[in-house]
Structure 1
Amino acid sequence: MDVHRIGGTSLTPLRAGPPPEPMPPTRFRATCERILAAVDRVIDGKADASRTALTVLLAQGHLLVEDVPGVGKTMLAKTLARTIDCSVSRIQFTPDLLPSDVTGVSIYNQATRQFEFRPGAVFANIVIGDEINRASAKTQSALLECMEEHQVTVDGTSYGLSEPFMVIATQNPIEMEGTYPLPEAQRDRFMARISMGYPDEAAEALMLESHQSESPLLSVEPAAEAADVLGMIETVKSVYVSDPVKEFTVALGRATRSSERLRLGASPRAVLQLLRASKARAALDGRDFVLPDDVAAMASTVLTHRLILDRRAAGAGLTAGGVLDAIVAAVPIPSDGAARLRRQD
């Protein structure tokens, strides 16, 4: 199978280059602070959501932003994308959107008498999928290979996506008319899910002041380049995870699968993504090793949207988040000292 990289309007063979160098810790922290500061100037009172979005980006995951209209879901995605000097595309998902609109299509060129591939909107570093649950299941599934393999296959030929690559999708969980709920296989591709929530009174008043003349998004300057993000990702990859922390992460995943209150627990992919997100969280906190607290703190954001309640639990008014909190509290946590253990070379 042929694999190509999209570069401008031409296609060139995809070749593996040398991996980027990890970004030094001091520069890593400074770059993170600049990115978060830029996002917080636009999204008032949502520092946790901004930090989670950056965590997912550095962990090479994808983010699902789920909430009611008008709370800043799309604005958060746009702002994060603008803080990085890289390619960005936005897809407005509608019932008539076709899979080829997302991935691209081969078109016959009469001049050359050959088929030419025209890349779709997914060929960007950051792809914003607005109201993803308004597209048909067939169109939603067009993102599966893109999100998991970082490539698109059309007519037997695979085209690699540029790195870094992140999908930030939004959806409204309240309005169900004319929507197509994401199937479990698609939800499992998203590393994390967040809800924006309504701002507090002070943040809402500040929003009226800062947004009354023009959107502050227009004044956002890039705080990092694509190459910087690749270096930051390498820094996250180098974060150390001790065996006790790995065992704790696996125990959490297995506990969701054995819970009588859950019909569907966390998949092995979910456990792996939980560990990756925990490494990114540790790096953002200035550490080169993962604590059990990192795993416990990221568990709700990474796992809840993948869990399905048992009928009796749902009938009793329980929530997937509440069941997961009980599971996290019940699984024995290794000591911080065990988390700091280094390999013996």
Structure 2
Amino acid sequence: MMAVDAAPSPASSTGAPSTAPSARQVMGLTVGMLAYHFGLWLWTAHRRGFTLTEALHRWDSTLYSAIVLEGYSPSPALRAFLPAWPGFVTLWHRLLGGTVPPWVLGCVLSTLLLLGFSAWVSRRMARGDTSPLVPGTAWGLALFLFSPASFALHSHHTEALFVLLSFGALTSAWDGHTWRAALFAALCVWTRNQGIFVAVAAALLLARPPGPWRERLGRFAVVGGVSLAAFAGLLYFQWRGTGDALAHVHAQQYWKHPSAWEALRGLWSGNPSQKVDGWIGLRYVFAAVWLAVSVALFRRSPALGLYGLLSVGVMVLQGGMGNAFRYGSVVFPVLFWLGDWLAARPVWLRWGAAVLVLWLNHKVTHGFAIGRWVY
């Protein structure tokens, strides 16, 4: 097995004591988050006079459900959603005879995928993994599980599938498994726009170990080539259905700007169409922290730091940070690092930050149930 880095543990690199969470703590935190979120949704549904299934059927969840039930034909705008997640749910929907509503089925599948991710993380830590791909402390895991839009990890959204696939790609690359990393990276490309960044990070991780440059270039080329083939397949899929190979880009109205200046001006909500309020401000704060942590993570692992930087930078193309909570929910190396960093801070700072994180997570999770824009 090829070790990509022989660096200190993620906890020690942030100044935190090396106290990796046990398997019981990992699953306990995961189940605790799930219980809290579903309990909050049940309570909200009861108080507001609607059902839990209605609470699960909001915003993008409704659009994924439309794709599962009718395909992409109802609206060109649906092409903005890449096919891996709705295809995965469609498969199970048909296997179950169409008896379970897609938004409920998607919620169940996402929850199982999240539990699978936590179990995988726990297994790697039990084997002594000291890479920044696993949390060095319980704080690192908790910050990931209670990031603002973590509700998307267990509802009818693509996030849980993407987290599992990206974890597979990056850990495989870290361990030196070239073809396994390439397969996971290719699946990421079909799942989210950030999948391309996962492929880049995985290829860079495989190219980093010392050795003959031809071998390093060969490993990089395998991941790059397979991921590029997957992207070409995605373009063909879009062209076959619409006649437009970039239908998934053109369907995203906020990715169209008359000029580069208008796109850049969106970073401070300087365009007339943009609304400025406290919630937008919180997204900008979250994105700023994400950016700073990505720079810090770059010193530990340039490939993973670059993944964080690209993931926050791509939102410039959207003209703002209106989706920062959701985009950031899947960048687990950044969230693990930040939580581990907090673990080493003074008690007042650590717990003060924890209260703010839990408050924001509560508000966002509640907001989704009542139909507010919380991405």
- Structures share fold, TM-score greater than 0.5: no
The structure carrying a bigger strand percent of its residues is 1
The structure carrying a bigger helix percent of its residues is 2
Which has the higher relative contact order, 1 or 2, with Cα contacts under 8 A spaced 6 or more apart?
Answer: 2
TM-score (normalised: structure 1): 0.28
